[in-house]
Amino acid sequence: MADRNSQNPDRKQPRKNQVKAARSASSRPTPFYIGLAVLALAGIGALAYVVGRPKPAAQEVSDITTDTTNAGPPQGYSLGNANAPVKILEFGDFECPQCGRFSTLTEPDLRKRLIETGDVFFTYYDFPLQMHKNTRAASNAAACADEQGKFWPMHDKLFDSQDQWNGEATDKPAEVFAKYAGEMGLNAAQWQSCFDSRKYQKRISANEAEALRRNVNATPSFIIGNKLYPGSLGYDELKAIVDSLKAKSPAPAPKT
């Protein structure tokens, strides 16, 4: 039996027009895909802005602007020789991603090449931000580890594993911190009692007040010499600042 369409060529034309119209329609961008393209371009623009945006300039350390008389004296956590020619203060937040990057990427070189060599005395101060809901608990965990001489191992672990305990990961960070304390060989009962009682809350608050006293408003921030450097610093930047300050410092007195 012959195809009926072959007997009447005119009947094929509507079908061709339908196919052509469908292809034409499928080649036109829909509002959905146009929206995706706009979002992609906006994201690229935002990324270019963030990457290309210059860091804030270093600022002179100013006088007290906040009443901190009720907070008590600050008590940071230090590494290195207290008589080193250059002192670096870091104000950090354990849940701050930039602080985590500084701790894991820059600080190992800082310790090995500037602190252990006697060039830098480094002190870390808590500056927990309200936007990070688990950061005060992390500061508490670190302070209780310090009671047993393990602040820096806890400091490193907290920054290295932010995605395991931060506010997006859990509502029960204490369980994670207790696990870390056990892995470090701390006396579990002593650490837990310290953590549960928030024994060092005043110390944390005093360190926070010290940050406000010095007009720190971002984490991480560093005070080196008499200048405040907001934002994370790379090792080469730190080395250049340290070398500049060392060149200006008086030579040590000769031994007699």
pLDDT of 120 higher than 80: yes
pLDDT digits (tens, 9 = 90+) for 12-49: 444 444 444 444 444 444 554 544 444 444 444 433 33
Q: What domain range includes position 243?
A: 59-248
**223 within a domain of the structure (yes/no):** yes
**12 within a domain of the structure (yes/no):** no
**243 within a domain of the structure (yes/no):** yes
**42 within a domain of the structure (yes/no):** no
Q: How confident is the model at residue 249 (pLDDT cuts 50, 70, 90)?
A: confident
Q: Which of 131, 126, 130, 129 is nearest to 141 (CA)?
A: 126
Burial class (CB in 10 A: 0-12, 13-18, 19+), 57: exposed
Domain count, the chain: 1
**19 within a domain of the structure (yes/no):** no
* pLDDT on residue 15: 47
Q: How confident is the model at residue 72 (pLDDT cuts 50, 70, 90)?
A: confident
pLDDT digits (tens, 9 = 90+) for 177-235: 999 999 999 999 999 999 999 999 999 999 999 999 999 999 999 999 999 999 999 99
**231 within a domain of the structure (yes/no):** yes
> Residue 84's domain is classified under what CATH number?
3.40.30.10
Query: Which residue's structure tokens are 């369409």?
Result: 5
The DSSP call for residue 9 is: G
Q: Which residues does 162 contact at the CB level (< 8 Å), separation at least 6?
A: 94, 95, 97, 100
* pLDDT on residue 57: 62
Q: What is the model's pTM?
A: 0.74
pLDDT of 152 higher than 70: yes
Which of helix, strand or coil describes residue 88? strand
Of the chain, the percentage scoring pLDDT greater than 90 comes to 68
Give the helix ranges, DSSP H, for 105-172.
Answer: 107-110, 135-146, 151-160, 162-165
pLDDT of 83 higher than 80: yes
**32 within a domain of the structure (yes/no):** no
> Which whole number is the average pLDDT over 113-121?
98
Burial class (CB in 10 A: 0-12, 13-18, 19+), 82: exposed
- C-alpha neighbours within 13 Å on the C-beta side of residue 215: 12
pLDDT of 50 higher than 50: no
Token pair listed for 167: 């506010």
**92 within a domain of the structure (yes/no):** yes
Least confident window among 42-51, 83-92, 159-168, 226-235: 42-51
